[in-house]
Amino acid sequence: MSKPILVIKFGSSSITHANGDVNEQTLEKIASQVAQLQPNFHIVLVSSGAVAAGKSVFKNYKGSLSERKAAAAVGNPILIAKYNDYFQKYGISIAQSLCERHHFSQRGQFLQLKETYQELWKNGVIPIANENDVVSNVELKFSDNDELATLIATGFGASKLLISTSVGGLLDGEGKIIRHVKEINSEVLSVVSTDKSSSGLGGMISKLTFTRMATRLGIKVVIFGLDQGEGIVDALNEKIGTVFEAQEATLNSRQKWLATGSLIRGKAVLDKGAVKAISQRKSLLSVGVLEFLGDFEKGEVIELLDMNKTPVAIARARSSKSELISAPTSLEVAHADDIVLW
């Protein structure tokens, strides 16, 4: 693509008021600032808020799965219509993109999604992505839209991922924003509050979990507040919020997709020799597997564990579990090109 890709995620608490009404002042701010950036970027907005926008029509709403699905069905058209109203003021068309987990776990569908976004960008249209809560299977749901934003950013090779939050960034023990984080480690995680907003699913732990994934795959992340300075524009220029540095990543696009978008179907426990071999970018042979856990078929993704059951990599299986169990010890479980180390 001729322009760098920028992914910006907004949570329910940013988009809607506590009663679920769409915060139109916020949408005006988003449209105005995104309009400034569009000439220089291919932009994806990942927006929560559909469930919050639709739940007020239900009596005695308690947030069950079926109620959330129904609220999303009501709220999706409300939310996208509001976005359209404000972006039209700047001559920008928007498109709704309701995503499900299989759009990322099946590479063919992922590539189709990518081609659709490229066609939208080519015509000056900004896609607004959200999970398709109306039909998403509970077992295959995204954990929240922080994950969806990360999958889009890593899968599409974004230059930067911006995540809006009501607290304005990662806070230290005194409630002050930590301006720069080189690497997310146990020390960084220890300062995090487990609180989450009343309208959203995710909290700071969720944001850091997926921020770590994005930074490990070479994407710089900024967690910021829309009400700080010039909001999105200042976050992009790293003047506000918390900036998380990107780590060096040498994976190709297919390996990045494998590391982020795939659904894990089974596991393999490796001996020390096998762990060393894959760390040296060698293929995994069945002789190095102590135990297979779960059930999987040829081509599905499995997680590779060391002897302490700690995840060390994920891989695409060259054969099914049943074939591997009954096969000679020299059978290739996963080729080196289909293994991504953690």
Distance CA 51, CA 76 (A): 8
C-alpha closest to that of 118 among 162, 150, 171, 155: 155
Helix/strand/coil for 316 = strand
Confidence of residue 197 (pLDDT cuts 50, 70, 90): very low
Strands 311-316 and 339-341: antiparallel
Bridge partner list, 161: 7, 221
pLDDT value of residue 89: 97
Which H or E run contains 29?
helix 24-37
- Type of residue found at 181: V
Condensed to tens digits (0 to 9), the pLDDT of residues 10-60 reads 988 888 888 888 899 999 999 999 999 999 999 999 998 888 888 888 988
Instruction: Give the single-character DSSP code of 14.
Output: H
Distance CA 292, CA 188 (A): 34
Neighbours of 312 (CB within 10 A): 17
The DSSP string of 131-197 is E-TTT--GGG--SSHHHHHHHHHHHHT-SEEEEE-TT-S-B-TTSPBP-EES---HHHHTT----B-
Average pLDDT on 119-128 reads: 97
Strands 93-99 and 5-10: unpaired
Residues 6 or more apart whose Cβ sits within 8 Å of residue 42: 1, 3, 4, 5, 6, 117, 121
Query: What are the φ and ψ backbone dihedral angles of 207, each rounded to 5 degrees?
Result: -60, -40
Bridge partner list, 117: none
pLDDT value of residue 1: 54
pLDDT value of residue 262: 60
- Type of residue found at 212: R
Distance CA 170, CA 208 (A): 9
Confidence of residue 295 (pLDDT cuts 50, 70, 90): confident
| Percentage with pLDDT > 90 across the chain | 44
Distance CA 20, CA 23 (A): 9
pTM of the model: 0.79
* Residue 38: half-sphere exposure toward Cβ, Cα within 13 Å: 22
Bridge partner list, 293: 267
The DSSP string of 65-79 is HHHHHHHHHHHHHHH
Q: Quick check: 142 pLDDT over 70?
A: no
pLDDT value of residue 116: 96
Comparison of pLDDT for 206 and 230, the residue scoring more: 230
Condensed to tens digits (0 to 9), the pLDDT of residues 155-189 reads 888 999 999 988 899 998 888 999 999 988 878 87
pLDDT value of residue 12: 85
Strands 301-305 and 311-316: antiparallel
